[in-house]
Structures are given as C-alpha cells and as structure tokens.
Structure 1
Amino acid sequence: MRLKILPPSLREPQRYLAVEIISEKPLEKNDIVSIIWNACLRLHGECETSKFKPWLIRAWEPIKDGENYKQKCIIRCKRGEEEKVRAALSSTSQHDNRRVALHTIGISGTIRSATQKFIKLK
C-alpha cells in the first residue's frame, strides 16, 4: 500500500529564515547544520528544539570579505517559533574554535520569496 501525501491544509505551517553567516574560514554544509543544532540545543534544550524543527534548506558558496567569509543560507522552522530560532542563532559566537556570527536577514513564508527578497544573488 502506498502512502498518500498530506494535503496542504493538514501540513504544519513553516517559515523560512534567511541567515547570513560571517566566519573566519569557509564553512561546509555539515558545519552549518551542526552550528544551527548546537545553538538551538544549548539555548532551548532537546524538547523545545524538537518542537520548532530547525532544518537547513540551502547554503550558498562563501564569499571572501576582507579577512572573513560571508555565506548566506535558508533555514526552515515551524511557524510561531521563529523568534526562538533567531535567538539561538544570534547567541552563537564560536564553532570549532573559530569565531562565527549569524545574523537573520529576514523571515518569509516560502523559499522562493526568501531567496528573492533577502538573498539577492547576482
């Protein structure tokens, strides 16, 4: 028996955060995922983090800016929990003994609008 896809009316509503990461060295996708999860777990704990379900959707290539690297990504979370994710991300200052800063550029309801409004790639 094949399972059916849930209709949109029964799915949990999601929000997408456009985030800018500034780091001393370029980060890979696995590094970004561990930064997101470690930040959320440290600030909110396992039970609370499992409620807002943070997930890395896409990460763009890092761009060298002086001594640092800037990288943009889109993170999905549950609607209504965006502020908790933003707080956890902004509380991060280090990863693997490297300085890291995460800034939320904006919040959107779809991946497409988050990319068009906040990422603005040339």
Structure 2
Amino acid sequence: MPAVAGAASASPDFSSRFKACYAAAGNDESKSACLAEELGAQDKAVAAAHQAAAQALAGADRQKLADDFVEWKKSILLDCSLQADSQKVAIVRENARKYCLIERSLAHRNADDAIRQDKTLNR
C-alpha cells in the first residue's frame, strides 16, 4: 500500500475532510475510521456520477453502462481484496483494501463524469 497520507494529499479528488482526518489520525484504527468515512462519501459520489452518466445515454448505451458498472464493482472488490492480502496485520490489510477501493472509485467517478459531459456537450 502506498503511504496513504502522501498519496492522499497528492490527489485532488480525496476530500479535504479526509485529508484532515488522516493527518490527525494517530494510529491504524483512527486511520481506518477516516478511510471508512471517505469510502462511504466516494461510494455516494460514484453512484451519483453513474446515475448522471446513465441519464445522458439512451437505449443500448445506457444498458451497457449499467452492465459495465456491475462488473466494475465486482472486479474492484476482488482486486482490492487480493491486493491487500499481502498485508499481514488485519487492520493494515483492511486499510489497504479501503484505500484501493477509494482510488478505484475516484477513477470510475471521473470516467462517468467524462461520459456525461461528452454526451451533454454533444447534444
């Protein structure tokens, strides 16, 4: 797992609330709480971006987006769990999994935003 504090501060997509929480966290349990809160917020943002992208599409494109979303969700859950398995300490492993899920969610949200913007501008 990358140094979460350094990686988080380098990414503009992590919330400022997460950055402050993580910087103040003194142990892995506190970091876990910060990661859990950020993951919840990013899950909501991904769902909203997906819905907005779906509304910009019609018919087969909308269905493909929905199908791709389901497959993406399955794959990140597995990929992030496998990636985190290299960590021997349970809390560190869980933190690595959450961090991975947040990173993948940020990328997916940005992709859905790009789809929505492209379809909205090209109407």
Q: How does the TM-score come out when normalised to structure 1? A: 0.26
* TM-score under structure 2 length normalisation: 0.26
Higher strand share: 1
Larger radius of gyration: 2
